[in-house]
Amino acid sequence: MDPTTAVRTDTLPAIATVIAPGAVASGPCLWLSLSNSSDLQKFATDHEAISLSCALVLWIVTGFAIDSLGSYVEVYCIDRRRPDHKEMLETWWRYLRIAWAREPVGQHYLRRMLVTFKFELNMFVATFVSLLAVGALGMAGSMPWPAVLKTGLGFAAAALFFAKAARDSSEVLADVRTALVKGVGEPPFDASGDSGKSSA
């Protein structure tokens, strides 16, 4: 197996959908901790490897929490607001039952689009959480209000952008799934991958 293929298929999606959103969501808390503790600053400077490892663990844990919240946003704020919600669910469950004998090109495209969608969705949740955190820092007096307003506007703009992007990507994913299931039989399938129902 080509090592670069493993990096593209496993590492990069994990960075995009878990680590990056986790770093964004935990950023305000890390900033508060470092700015208010000289001992923590000294430890981070003297033990860079340990500090980086701890930060990475924090980003991963936070990223999985953001991913879990993103799943709720997807179900309740995107999928259930679709006018064709019932038809979309039927297509989704039919798509999950497909046993591809030969994967179509659309399946590879769908896989790539799914990573893009998860990145956009999780970044929306992460920027929204960071927006709330920055507001809390301002209310607590840990961050000057001019900085709160500038940073908050940046996070708000990013949250709106990622919300729109995630909604658009969700539409594309639904359309591609609908196109993929057209002409595909229902399980069970025979050894050649043909549907028993369609051959009957």
70-92 per-position pLDDT tens digit: 999 999 999 999 999 999 999 99
User: In angstroms, rounded to a whole number, what is the distance separating the alpha carbons of residues 75 and 71?
Assistant: 6
The answer on pLDDT for 22 being more than 60 is yes
Residue 130 neighbours by CB distance under 10 Å: 24
Confidence band (pLDDT; 50, 70, 90) for 55? very high
* pLDDT, average across residues 159-174: 97
| The predicted structure's pLDDT at residue 175 | 94
Using the structure block, give the residue that is written with the tokens 């006018």: 83
What are the backbone dihedrals phi and psi of residue 189, each rounded to the nearest 5 degrees, phi first?
A: -110, 150
- Whether the CB-CB separation of 125 and 66 falls below 8 Å is answered with yes
| The predicted structure's pLDDT at residue 37 | 80
Q: What angle do CA 161, 164, 165 make, to 5 degrees?
A: 85
* Residue type at 20 in one-letter notation: A
| The predicted structure's pLDDT at residue 199 | 43
Q: Which residue has the higher pLDDT, 32 or 61?
A: 61
* pLDDT, average across residues 103-119: 92
Cβ burial of 59 (10 Å; 0-12, 13-18, 19+) is buried
User: In angstroms, rounded to a whole number, what is the distance separating the alpha carbons of residues 126 and 24?
Assistant: 6
Closest CA to 104 of 18, 191, 179: 179
Which range in 26-35, 102-111, 159-168, 188-197 is most confidently predicted, on average pLDDT?
Answer: 159-168
Cβ burial of 161 (10 Å; 0-12, 13-18, 19+) is middle
This prediction's pTM:
0.84
| The two structure tokens encoding residue 71 | 């799943």
| The predicted structure's pLDDT at residue 160 | 98
- Whether the CB-CB separation of 117 and 184 falls below 8 Å is answered with no
